[in-house]
């Protein structure tokens, strides 16, 4: 899996680049939580559920069905609690939250370890990776993260998540400024 840092960075970049008008501390926090949420499936180990089970780590919680559903549901709840939000604002929040959650299995499929993600669950329990896997897989335990392995993970995630995220944000800001200038002509 990518680390919590990588998942949260991806959600922040998605929000800042794609949805800057709805990006607030609360929405960043929720998007970051949604990006990390699928890894709560590691609790399955405590109940004796094996890794390779569809109910185990990187199983059903790493599927598009789960991630899109939980992102949209969270967005809908957030919007209900934010009385007076415009429809456009509400749609943007739901999209950002869903994309943040979906980013989790997609990033995990770019890691060089583990068993892959059950992306198509419940239609298939097959575990998938992308053919290209540049991200160093993060250790499951927090203690192992504070080691040489953890440092390699952080460097890898900076290169393959952090920098692309920053470039995405910069590119969208530049494109927005250019579009604004053209519209004023």
Question: Which residue bears the tokens 């967005």?
Answer: 75
Q: What's the pTM value of the predicted model, to 2 decimals?
A: 0.92
Instruction: Report whether 15 contacts 83 (CB < 8 A).
Output: no
3-state secondary structure of 77: helix
CA 87, 91, 94, 100 torsion-angle sign: negative
3-state secondary structure of 130: coil
pLDDT > 90? residue 145: no
pLDDT in tens, 46-73: 999 988 899 999 999 999 999 999 999 9
Domain borders along the chain are: 4-184
CA 42, 47, 52, 55 torsion-angle sign: negative
Confidence band (pLDDT; 50, 70, 90) for 91? very high
pLDDT > 80? residue 142: no
Among 107, 110, 100, 105, which Cα is nearest to 18's?
100
Cα 100 to Cα 53: distance, rounded to the nearest angstrom: 25
């Amino acid at each position: 899996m990518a680390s919590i840092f990588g998942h949260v960075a991806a959600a922040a970049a998605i929000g800042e680049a794609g949805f800057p008008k709805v990006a607030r501390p609360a929405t960043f926090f929720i998007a970051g939580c949604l990006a990390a949420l699928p890894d709560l499936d590691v609790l399955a180990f405590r109940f004796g559920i094996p890794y390779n089970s569809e109910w185990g780590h990187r199983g059903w919680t790493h599927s598009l069905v789960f991630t899109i559903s939980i992102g949209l549901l969270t967005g809908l709840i957030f919007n209900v609690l934010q009385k007076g939000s415009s429809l456009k604002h509400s749609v943007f929040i739901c999209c950002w939250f869903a994309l943040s959650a979906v980013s989790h299995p997609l990033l995990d499929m770019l890691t060089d370890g583990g068993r892959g993600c059950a992306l198509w669950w419940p239609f298939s329990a097959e575990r998938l990776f992308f053919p290209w896997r540049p991200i160093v897989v993060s250790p499951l335990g927090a203690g192992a993260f504070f080691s040489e392995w953890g440092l390699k993970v952080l460097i890898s995630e900076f290169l393959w998540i952090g920098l692309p995220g920053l470039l995405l944000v910069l590119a969208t800001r530049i494109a927005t400024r250019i579009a604004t200038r053209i519209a004023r002509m």
